[in-house]
Structure 1
């Protein structure tokens, strides 16, 4: 039976890199994002004879739209769901707690937290059946506060706890949270436009990583995320790792053997 993985935020950045890595491993990808046009372009450009990129346009902050993703999975009757990658996320707006608009605050939570519950919940019957893996994309910002990043930091800390909670409640599915490092994506562009809301030393750190060419290519953490998604065992369920954690080295080896 062929394998299929669901990747959210699949139209660009880390999500796109993760999708390409799955396709390289012969795994069909259901790519979830809001832009139907962009996803259609990717479906044409990336699909291979043995692994297709299937466009699934949905705003996963909406419960009714999450049903579309489940429908996309149900359409793959000859495939087994091997992985769900909860990658979609936003850091915008960057603002002090004293200034942030509450509607904007809520949107960060709606994007970064709610789908980790709602989408996983909808796909649990398939995930349980195939003893699949769920990788929740976390962040180092879940472990320390950055000036102006309160909504993002709090939401990623919630993702870590949801990973633990799901692992406790769902013994037949592996749940792992992975911090991808400082990756060269649109999120970094948002950070470099937020000097007004950040501490000078923190803003300078991220600006310098960009100017010195030290931001990670999305392909680097994407490779680890996909290897973990395809090879993880129950002993790591509920845990948080950096993409370059020594504990994940065995999955690098497993991924190389499966390539």
Structure 2
């Protein structure tokens, strides 16, 4: 039986790295994102373009995309939205709603779809963040959404005992999100940004592919944790 993997957000960053490494390992990979990763498609990626924030349009497309798939060894919910770093009082509700739509609600309907259409799913890993725990000033919708994602994972673990669920913080990853964060001007209110700037370009902030290899190696160990747990790769 072939190893089947499903990954959201494969156009860049960690999702791109995960898809690339799994393809190199000989797995069959189904991936979705808004932009098409031409290099991965050339390597054999099964790909469809969707905007996960638009459930009405995306759900039927993804339903057709996974038609006939009999099992997924891993489902990796990686796609996410950061939003702007600013104080909560300066953050419009529409911005928080959009972040929640991508980081939480899309994963809700996507999990429902996958468990309805695919007979066997062994492991679900939702990419969370240390921001879900830290409550650092300025992270607002991102922290709220990742904390909610952790609970979403825990709730689904209770409903699907046949699968193993984890919300996993991958540590620092050098992605477009980090490009935005580390380009922000110095602001004493947001001390987290200065730590990120110091890590940029060092081994403390690996690129997406390097981080992907580390995560894939750790995925089997996640199954030793209670299903529904939150874990940080730096503490495994």
Q: Do these two structures clear the TM 0.5 threshold for a shared fold by scoring above it?
A: yes
The aligned counterpart of 2:154 is 164
After TM superposition, list the pairs within 5 Å mapping 1:173-212 onto structure 2.
173-195=163-185, 199-210=189-200, 212=202
The aligned counterpart of 1:62 is 54
Residue 195 of structure 1 aligns to a residue in which SS? coil
Q: Which runs of 5+ in 1 are unaligned?
A: 48-52, 247-259
- Contact 1:96–1:197 (8 Å) recurs in 2: no
Question: Normalised by the size of structure 1, how large is the TM-score?
Answer: 0.82
Residue 205 of structure 1 aligns to a residue in which SS? helix
- Contact 1:176–1:237 (8 Å) recurs in 2: yes
After TM superposition, list the pairs within 5 Å mapping 1:7-46 onto structure 2.
7-35=7-35, 38-44=36-42, 46=43
CA distance in 2, matches of 1:138, 1:101: 23
The aligned counterpart of 2:74 is 83
Question: Normalised by the size of structure 2, how large is the TM-score?
Answer: 0.89
Shift in Å, 1:193 = 3.3
Q: Structure 1 residues 150 and 179 mapped into 2: Cα distance closer, same or farther (>3 Å)?
A: same
Deviations 1:74-98 (A, max 9, x none): 154xx53222110001112222111
- Contact 1:59–1:66 (8 Å) recurs in 2: no
Residue 142 (str. 1) matches residue 132 (str. 2): yes
Q: Structure 1 residues 173 and 212 mapped into 2: Cα distance closer, same or farther (>3 Å)?
A: closer
CA distance in 2, matches of 1:200, 1:225: 28
The aligned counterpart of 1:253 is none
The aligned counterpart of 2:116 is 125
Q: Structure 1 residues 229 and 73 mapped into 2: Cα distance closer, same or farther (>3 Å)?
A: farther
> Alignment RMSD, CA only?
2.3
**Given the alignment, which residue of 206, 209, 213 partners 1:216?**
206
Q: Structure 1 residues 200 and 59 mapped into 2: Cα distance closer, same or farther (>3 Å)?
A: closer
Q: Which runs of 5+ in 2 are unaligned?
A: none
CA distance in 1, matches of 2:215, 2:38: 24
Shift in Å, 1:242 = 1.4
Residue 134 of structure 2 aligns to a residue in which SS? coil
Residue 68 of structure 1 aligns to a residue in which SS? helix
- Contact 2:138–2:190 (8 Å) recurs in 1: no
CA distance in 2, matches of 1:212, 1:226: 21
CA distance in 2, matches of 1:212, 1:5: 30
- Contact 1:95–1:197 (8 Å) recurs in 2: no
